[in-house]
Structure 1
């Protein structure tokens, strides 16, 4: 991956912030105009590393500026995952393709997950909200969980809007985690102890199952979807 993460010289034109197909808490996601199978993540102007450091508690402001850059942190985590787990990890997470210069600043390029009809894949949260816990997503969750635990994949809490459901013939087939990777521990001992990694990954899966049940229970009570994870149909056609 190290060769992939060399910054490119050519500036990629993304077309302005309104062209983003998705907006997260810190980043914008664009279809790479050079390849519809790739995504470029850029930092939101209002959530720049400098702005995040200024808003951080005093003791955290001593950290280097790069530690407040989500793209740089994500690239470091992916490098660690590839070193520790290898190519099998990419059964469960997208591949990175390097840093690129864009008209909105530095961007991080990665795989863009699409369904077999070419539309951008839905988040697990949206899939469940629209279709429920059907037998196809249940099967995809089981396969995902087995591999996630076996590989001891490192992550923070698995959030439903940070997971994507790739469909074939309109049915859930595979799940991927697109954000929130890496152990949050100051000293990530799980990177050195595979059994500990598997145990922690198993706990993340149990928490994920609880999150799914909570989402479906909220929907049954006619609650709201929330602010994260919804992709309008028009944006899926990008």
Structure 2
């Protein structure tokens, strides 16, 4: 079995508010190989880190993100608030970054891909989301590395795989077993599983032969992997 990539889900959200620079730093300090972040656009087209379509849950501000400009986002959430994608890529340095694109549109995907390239980060960024979003990424960047999020045991159609050309299939952890990973590997792709937070689930996924696990508990997964190697 090869090394399993430890992917931090939105940083280190059990300790630090998700999708903030402090959360990304905490995840890396605790052993993450890669960090998964969610990216959306402000009203004026700046890619920022936010999973939801509004500022309500995390920041207690009753405003949809697409109705707020970048300057106002900074004013509403503070100096340590919602970061730009540019700042996050800089913060993560040479680490791998998995970009999830909720609510993806042609405009938002183009802005994200352009930012990634302008930051010189294309070689360490890969993208995950639905088939519709990943088709937009493939159109915007023919060389992008893609983890196609798949939510059923039925395999993707060959026509879809040919169009998206994913390196990974990204599955909810409950769907993953040894039979699935072997099938995906035979088809020439890697298997990513999300979001596993118990040691029991982590051990099961490792035994099933996954290549990557996304978790909210980077330290727990790192400890499980260390134990599996001793």
TM-score of the superposed pair, with normalisation by structure 1: 0.24
